[in-house]
Structure formats: C-alpha cells, structure tokens
C-alpha cells in the first residue's frame, strides 16, 4: 500500500485532510510526539519510545485516550497495512479539539500517526558539518513536545551553511543538537551532557551508553564547553534518524580525520538493529 496515516480513530490516506481547524496541536503546539525507525519490516526500540512518550504526557498533564498497548497495536497495524520494509513512523498525542482557549479544555486527547518512507541516513564515512548556536529554548527540553520553533530555526541556519546539524550551547556549555544528542571524545573517553531537563533523553543516546559499555569504552555524563568540543579527538551526534553520525567540522574548526570510536559505535549500532531483522 505504501505511506499511510491514522487520525483520531481511523486509518486514512497520507494526504487526506483530516485535522480540524480547532485542533490544539494546530493552534498551540499542545502535544507530544515520537519517531521510530523500521528496519526490515520491524519497528526498532518501540517499547523505549512508548515509555518516553508516556513520560512526556505525564509532564504536560496529558491523559491518554487509550492504553499504550492499544497505541502499539495501531502502530503495528499501520506498518502492516503499509507493507513497507524501511520506514519512519511518527506518532503524536494532542490535547484534543476545542474552541481556542489557553487553559486545558477538558476534551479527549487525540492520537495520530504516519508511516512514511525512511529518510536517507547520510554518509557516515564522511560525517557531517555542524555550527554552534546559543541555546534559547525553554528549560524543559526533556519533554518531546510539538513546540519546535527554536529547533527548526536552528536547523535552517545549519542547512543554509551547508551543515547537517546545529549544536546548542547555553552560557557556553554544550547541551545538544537541534534534533540530536551531542558527544565529544577526548583521550579515549566519551563525554555528553547529563540527562537533565535541558536536553532530550535520547533513545539512541541511551543505546550508545550500552554499546560503549560492551566495547569497554568509558563514558562520562559531564558538562563541557564549546572549546572542549572543538578540541576533542572526535565528536558525533545521535538520533533515531541519523543513528550515530561523526562530525567532521564544527564552525570553522576541522575535526581530526581519524574517528575510531565514532566509527566503532556506528557499526555496533547498525549490528544491533540488523540482529532484530
């Protein structure tokens, strides 16, 4: 069948006009979302994404219209209907449909989903370029909310400079990327920002911790500044969409060409999902 969508209570065509004008997501960005990757017809790390989805809902007082198990059934049915082997599944929950008002309206939440073709991963051997921007977002970045205006503006600045990512820094401290978590490698140790409210607690980020432990590579959740990042032996970022992507340039700083740890983790992550196929 190909790409497919689900809105509220039924499966629909990917281009069907189904979102009401008074949908809270449309008017306020009042909701949460997740993106999961499909490899070889199987959803990767779905349970982990659903658990983060639940935590985001709790953080904004959003009540599920049905159970997580029911959501999982809808997601898997959507994938089955699509008959796609390689895909990205986006799902979101909003506070519902109501005349516009700022306070919670007391209407049922709305679940929706799309199953689409997977975006290209990018060339991991080449890596990606990045720019550093001031982190001007709100202080609850651990919530995977629909309010992504600062992120998309940062991403656009990166794209306009032919870069793959924008790296946020708050008061000189590196937090994360516009759509990723950021890591620096120095003297064989991997560093990344602690999992506070100021960053998204990435699912791929968590898997990198597991893979690093398996490879006996030490990791530290420790704040570091932009100078430390630019003087690192290696740097990489992670997300569901790019997996583990080495960084070859940050602003005007050329990173070392040798990337043994980044490459090892990228390969280990690939092997992880290939085992599930």
Catalytic residues: 144
Among 55, 73, 75, 82, which residue's Cα sits nearest to residue 200?
55
d(CA 235, CA 99): 47
| Beta carbons of 168 and 223 less than 8 angstroms apart | no
d(CA 93, CA 224): 34
Q: Around Cβ 115, how many Cβ atoms within 10 Å?
A: 27
DSSP at 109 = -
Among 87, 108, 117, which residue's Cα sits nearest to residue 31?
108
What are the helix (H) ranges across 60-179?
68-82, 149-160
d(CA 89, CA 43): 9
| Beta carbons of 33 and 92 less than 8 angstroms apart | yes
Token digits of residue 151: 């992120």
């Amino acid at each position: 069948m190909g790409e497919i969508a689900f809105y509220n209570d039924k499966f629909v065509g990917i281009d069907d006009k189904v979102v009401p004008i008074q949908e809270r997501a449309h008017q306020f960005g009042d909701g949460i979302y997740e993106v999961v990757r499909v490899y070889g017809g199987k959803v990767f790390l779905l349970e982990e994404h659903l658990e983060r989805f639940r935590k985001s809902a709790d953080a904004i007082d959003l009540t599920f219209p049905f159970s997580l198990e029911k959501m999982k059934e809808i997601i898997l049915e959507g994938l089955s209907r699509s008959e796609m082997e390689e895909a990205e599944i986006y799902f979101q929950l909003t506070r519902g449909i109501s005349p516009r008002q700022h306070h919670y309206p007391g209407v049922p939440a709305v679940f929706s989903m799309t199953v689409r073709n997977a975006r290209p991963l990018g060339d991991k051997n080449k890596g990606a370029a990045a720019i550093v921007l001031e982190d001007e977002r709100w202080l609850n970045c651990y919530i995977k909310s629909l309010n992504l205006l600062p992120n998309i503006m940062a991403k656009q600045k990166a794209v306009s400079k032919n870069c793959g990512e924008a790296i946020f820094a708050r008061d000189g401290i590196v937090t994360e990327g516009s759509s990723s978590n950021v890591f620096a490698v120095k003297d064989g140790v991997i560093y990344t920002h602690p999992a506070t409210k100021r960053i998204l607690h990435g699912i791929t980020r968590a898997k990198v911790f597991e893979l690093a432990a398996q490879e006996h590579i030490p990791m530290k959740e420790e704040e570091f500044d932009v100078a430390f990042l630019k003087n690192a032996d290696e740097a990489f970022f992670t997300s569901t969409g790019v997996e583990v992507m080495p960084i070859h340039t940050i602003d005007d700083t050329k990173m070392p060409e040798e990337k043994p740890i980044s490459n090892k983790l990228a390969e280990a992550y690939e092997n992880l999902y290939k085992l599930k196929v």
